[in-house]
């Protein structure tokens, strides 16, 4: 039961990320960079306190994959945060949950997995759901927001996360905790020159609110949440993890409605249900095939 409570708490923390990002007066690349640095430092301290020693030989063997996947995580965050700025958190979150569909589409070429008729149906349902969410009838814009662009950024974030999922399939002899710590470190290292190249990282202009929220994002939403997540995995079955992971998008929609007065039309709700339902079915199929279910397909 303790494992379930920790995983539920983790998903609720992930579900509130969008609200916190909206309160930080920094560019998406700056937020992603600082999140990676703070989260990595937290996990390194946690690893030291629990006296966890990674295998340096395994780190060396997987160095290239860890660097590439870490960079993909960094850019995944950038596009997800951009999505939060351009559209509603509900739209951004649901479009981000397109990651399992991208994995399903690419798996036959990269992992040599068979694309079954059921998987094709899942992909088709997700595409229909996405079309309903974009809702072209309103022109894709409202007020200062550009929903079509925001959803596009959400899909880009999903594509980068899908690449992380696929690359993680080839990482050997490292636990999920070890992999995540190194990926956060690699992501921060890759994003640092990118942020400098953009001429950003001017922390002197930050107000107290932004400083508090970026610390919460790095410590609570990254370091603490990932630590809770990986400790809960050891106690739960793959099917349980897959089901409870959907607390994240559901809570994101509810939290955005409460704190930001965001809503979804009935058509968009149907679209969201199609996307989440198809991704859930795809994850259920993957669990039946692998019998492992150690890692969720999406995690902000």
**Mind listing the pLDDT tens digit of every residue in the chain (300 residues)?**
588 899 999 999 999 999 999 999 888 999 999 999 999 999 999 888 877 777 889 999 999 999 999 999 999 999 999 999 999 999 999 999 999 889 889 988 998 888 888 888 989 999 999 988 876 454 455 555 788 899 999 999 999 999 999 999 899 988 888 898 999 999 999 999 888 887 667 777 788 899 999 999 999 999 999 989 988 877 887 778 878 888 999 999 999 999 989 888 888 899 999 999 988 887 776 666 554 444 545 568
Handedness of CA 26, 30, 34, 36 (dihedral sign): positive
Helix/strand number for the chain, H first, E second: 15, 2
Put simply, whether the predicted model's pTM sits higher than 0.85 gets the answer yes
- The three-state DSSP-derived secondary structure of 166-226 is HHHCCCCCCCHHHHHHHHHHHHHHHHHHHHHHCCCCCHHHCCHHHHHHHHHHHHHHHHHHH
Phi, psi angle pair for 142, to nearest 5°? -160, 125
Token readout for 253 is: 């929609």
Give the CA dihedral 4, 5, 11, 12, nearest 10 degrees. 160
Q: Measured between alpha carbons, how far is residue 146 from residues 84, 85, 158, 195 in Å?
A: 11, 9, 18, 24
Strand partners, 141: 146
Cβ pair 58, 224 in contact under 8 A: no
């Amino acid at each position: 039961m303790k494992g379930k409570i920790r995983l539920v708490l983790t998903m609720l923390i992930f579900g509130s990320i969008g609200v916190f990002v909206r309160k930080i007066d920094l560019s998406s690349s700056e937020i992603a960079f600082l999140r990676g640095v703070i989260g990595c430092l937290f996990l390194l301290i946690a690893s030291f306190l629990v006296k966890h020693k990674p295998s340096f030989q395994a780190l060396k063997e997987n160095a290239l994959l860890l660097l590439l996947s870490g960079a993909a995580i960094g850019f995944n965050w950038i596009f997800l945060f951009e999505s939060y700025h351009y559209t509603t958190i509900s739209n951004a979150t649901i479009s981000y949950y397109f990651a399992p569909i991208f994995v399903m589409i690419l798996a036959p070429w990269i992992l040599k997995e068979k694309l079954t008729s059921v998987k094709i149906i899942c992909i088709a349902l997700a595409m229909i759901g996405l079309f309903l969410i974009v809702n072209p009838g309103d022109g894709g814009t409202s007020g200062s927001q550009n929903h079509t662009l925001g959803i596009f950024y959400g899909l880009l974030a999903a594509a980068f996360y899908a690449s992380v999922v696929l690359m993680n399939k080839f990482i050997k002899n490292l636990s999920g905790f070890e992999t995540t710590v190194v990926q956060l470190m690699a992501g921060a290292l890759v994003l640092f020159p990118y942020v400098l190249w953009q001429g950003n990282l001017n922390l002197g202009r930050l107000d107290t609110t932004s400083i508090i929220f970026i610390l919460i994002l790095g410590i609570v939403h990254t370091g603490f949440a990932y630590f809770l997540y990986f400790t809960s995995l050891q106690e739960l079955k793959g099917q349980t993890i897959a089901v409870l992971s959907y607390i994240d998008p559901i809570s994101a929609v509810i939290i955005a409605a409460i704190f930001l007065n965001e809503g979804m039309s009935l058509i968009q709700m149907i679209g969201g249900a199609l996307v989440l339902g198809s991704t859930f079915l795809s994850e259920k199929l993957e669990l039946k095939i692998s019998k492992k279910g150690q890692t969720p397909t999406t995690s902000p």
